[in-house]
Structure 1
Amino acid sequence: MQPTPADYSTLLLAVKQRVREAQYRALQQVNQQQMQLYWDLGRLIAERQQQHGWGKSVVETLARDLQAEFAGMAGFSSRNLWYMQEFYSAYKDDAILQPLVAEINWTHNLLILTKCKSAAERLYYLTQTRANNWTKAVLEQQIRARAYDHTVLAQHNFAQALAPAQLPAATLALRDEYAFGFLGLAAEHAEHELEQALLGNVRRFLVEMGGDFAFVGNQYRLELAGQEYFIDLLLFHRGLQCLVALELKVTEFKPEYAGKLNFYLSLLNEQVRKPHEQPSIGIIICQSKQRTVVEFALRDIGKPIGVATYTLTDTLPAELRPFFPSNEELVRRLDAVAAALRG
């Protein structure tokens, strides 16, 4: 038996990677074919509903016949056929959303279709599911936690501080409020307790942050002129290709927090950021904030900073509803995301 070549391990890794890539492409093609089938069935039912007045009894008969003919295939229940009709009707006239639905599977599509009512909300969850490979459980949790609502409400100075190419992805990366109910913290807690609880639940924490973040470190040390400075949590955003500095506060937002984080970002860009990476972004997560104070505090800050709050429950406070933008503004904001995806 011949000895194993010295470069065999490298070859094995390359072959494994190639097999996984082929498997992934095959799964994508299967999913696209299934979505096309469900789209076509939904179209046929919708057209006959309109032209011939098809009703519940006809679809139930169709379901029984399909189940008898294709006994080994799931998905032909009458309820699922009605979902296909609803699926087709919801997206047939939407040039932006229609191609996106083919890129995620049917169970994800059903969640978005049944739980989200506006086109802008569906666009958010479709793009985020695709970009972050959310499982059904994660998508369900994100919808329940109203991730879209909190993204729409987010406060930041990204439009002034970031290059236009970075703006759409950065806007989707920040939320107005994060749900930390999974930490099990008491209502009264210290910053150190909050930080340690997040570190102890780092996987859940990164999912809540949006899914495209990687953990770098906590109490990340920086030095300037013999003085030490520490960033509470340092993350890396894979899509934006930049470091993200998080400062945790268990108090209401104060304007000086933005100035301090602006200083930290300058040090990160100078001392830590690699040549191929984009400029660093900062996020301040506080227990509460006055939206007008945040707006003025960020107005003349040069570095990209967002200010969010956290809650130990999963509900959106009713008092935030008046701050929701109009439908026209939602479309304008998310059109930028769609344009970036098409590009």
Structure 2
Amino acid sequence: MSQLSSHLFISVKQLIENAKSSIVRNINTAMLLTYFEIGKVIIENEQDGKDRAEYAKETLKNLSKQLTKEFGRGYSVDNLQWMRKFYLMYQNRISEKYETVSRNSAEAVIYESVSRNSFFSLSWSHYIQLMKIENSDERNFYEIEANQNNWSVRELTRQFNSAIYERLALSRNEKEVKKLAQKGQIIEKPTDVLKSHYVLEFLDLNEDNRYSESDLETGIINKLEHFMLELGKGFLFEGRQRRFTFEGDSFFVDLVFYNRLLRCFVLFDLKIGKLTHQDIGQMQMYVNYYDRKVKLEEENPTIGIILCKEENKTVIEFTLPENNNTIFAKEYRAILPSKEELKKQIG
């Protein structure tokens, strides 16, 4: 194939692929807006019924039979109930312009919305998971994060089950917690990357201490993609057991990452026991070395995170300076936490 023919093929191929992606996005948006409109019609129909509960139950059953006969799968009673809930939960999202259009032009509303703006950017399966979250702020946070980070439905479910919203909220004031619901997780300063603790249930470790720090490190490397999803936004893996030497003595940093949003190195030291002041001193040396020997002048100061089985708040308080913004100790959990317990801590 000549160079000209090859270039032509690549150009045409790109056009076709872009068109396919656009079609898929538009179909998804049209489907979601259709489900939204179906939910609205169901609600309006219920309001005209005399005995709302029984009327709605029987109506959805009959409607499901008729739609399934006409259009096939996708219109079960359960799915119709989700469409109903979809409208109730997201009705304020649709602008007044589209809400006040007459029922006769409902189809025009859907397709004009597709061409002008996508109100719903995730899949129907994503929204079913989101609708299980009753707290609207929490639900908004997960929708934003799923969209920005391209979470699969499985990853969205995992992040919800691991209570990422509560773990981020625990380290923030009321104003910052509100931002989570409005903008998702914004990374602007070192503390923005931190959670109250880290959940490593994907390593399949026992809660007892019958594993070594080497086992913990190897488990993380073997499940690196999962670990980086747990860390959050902007992390790039740089290496493990990074070595440096002072006067013949060698030292090794367990895990080294770079955060492109903070523009700095993030070092992890793994500890399977309770935090000690020696652990903090060791991390301080690692951070100092990276700041003085590795990082570029235009990059920001290195962050050190000691991932330990048990924090020691008193040791942290009296070992680190009050204005510390570079070294942190965080617990990890080998099993998923209790969301109810975390919600109580938020208050």
TM-score (norm 1): 0.72
Shift of 1:174: 3.1
Which moves more between the two structures, 49-58 or 197-206? 49-58
Asked if the contact 1:176–1:307 (Cα under 8 Å) also holds between the matched residues in 2, the reply is no
Which residue number in structure 1 is paired with residue 29 of structure 2?
A: 32
SS state of the match for residue 236, structure 1?
A: strand
Which moves more between the two structures, 31-40 or 266-275? 266-275
Shift of 1:16: 5.8
Say whether residues 1:287 and 2:284 are aligned partners: no
One of 213, 235, 251 as aligned partner of 1:213: 235
Say whether residues 1:199 and 2:216 are aligned partners: no
**Which structure has the larger Rg over C-alpha atoms?**
2
Which residue number in structure 1 is paired with residue 150 of structure 2?
A: 133
Asked if the contact 1:155–1:176 (Cα under 8 Å) also holds between the matched residues in 2, the reply is no
SS state of the match for residue 168, structure 1?
A: coil
Asked if the contact 1:177–1:309 (Cα under 8 Å) also holds between the matched residues in 2, the reply is yes
Distance 2:14 2:330 in 1: 39
Which moves more between the two structures, 15-24 or 133-142? 15-24
SS state of the match for residue 55, structure 1?
A: helix
Say whether residues 1:244 and 2:261 are aligned partners: no
Asked if the contact 2:129–2:157 (Cα under 8 Å) also holds between the matched residues in 1, the reply is yes
TM-aligned CA distance change 1:26 to 1:215, over 3 Å:
farther
Shift of 1:244: 2.6
Distance 2:11 2:333 in 1: 45
Which residue number in structure 2 is paired with residue 339 of structure 1?
A: none
SS state of the match for residue 169, structure 1?
A: coil
Alignment of 1:217-232 (within 5 A): 217-221=239-243, 229-232=251-254
Structure 2 unpaired stretches of 5+: 96-116, 177-182
Distance 1:268 1:18 in 2: 46
Say whether residues 1:118 and 2:135 are aligned partners: yes
TM-aligned CA distance change 1:32 to 1:196, over 3 Å:
same
Asked if the contact 1:269–1:279 (Cα under 8 Å) also holds between the matched residues in 2, the reply is yes
Shift of 1:263: 5.4
Alignment of 1:1-343 (within 5 A): 4-5=2-3, 20-52=17-49, 53=52, 55-71=56-72, 74-93=73-92, 102-114=120-132, 116-154=133-171, 168-169=186-187, 173-186=193-206, 187-188=208-209, 189-210=211-232, 213-221=235-243, 229-237=251-259, 242-254=264-276, 257=279, 260-261=282-283, 264-265=286-287, 267-268=289-290, 271-273=293-295, 280-290=302-312, 294=316, 297=320, 299-303=322-326, 305-316=327-338, 322-324=344-346, 326=347
Shift of 1:233: 1.0
TM-aligned CA distance change 1:320 to 1:113, over 3 Å:
closer
Which residue number in structure 2 is paired with residue 338 of structure 1?
A: none
Asked if the contact 1:41–1:84 (Cα under 8 Å) also holds between the matched residues in 2, the reply is yes
Distance 2:74 2:149 in 1: 26
Distance 2:94 2:244 in 1: 48
Distance 1:12 1:272 in 2: 45
- What letter corresponds to residue 180 of structure 1 in structure 2? L
Asked if the contact 1:155–1:307 (Cα under 8 Å) also holds between the matched residues in 2, the reply is no
Shift of 1:102: 0.5
Shift of 1:204: 2.7
Shift of 1:232: 1.6
Structure 1 unpaired stretches of 5+: 160-164, 327-343
TM-aligned CA distance change 1:41 to 1:215, over 3 Å:
same
TM-score (norm 2): 0.71
- What letter corresponds to residue 30 of structure 1 in structure 2? I
| Superposed CA offset, 1:222-260 (max 9, x none) | 578997653321223455555432222222234565565
Distance 2:214 2:91 in 1: 51
Shift of 1:314: 1.6
Distance 2:278 2:22 in 1: 50
- What letter corresponds to residue 175 of structure 1 in structure 2? K
TM-aligned CA distance change 1:36 to 1:322, over 3 Å:
closer
Distance 2:321 2:93 in 1: 36
Of the two structures, which has the highest relative contact order with CA contacts closer than 8 Å and spacing of 6 or more?
Answer: 1
- What letter corresponds to residue 92 of structure 1 in structure 2? Q
Q: CA RMSD in A?
A: 4.0
Distance 1:35 1:112 in 2: 14
TM-aligned CA distance change 1:319 to 1:193, over 3 Å:
same
Shift of 1:79: 1.4
Asked if the contact 2:187–2:233 (Cα under 8 Å) also holds between the matched residues in 1, the reply is no
- What letter corresponds to residue 218 of structure 1 in structure 2? R
Which moves more between the two structures, 280-289 or 135-144? 280-289
Distance 1:243 1:284 in 2: 14
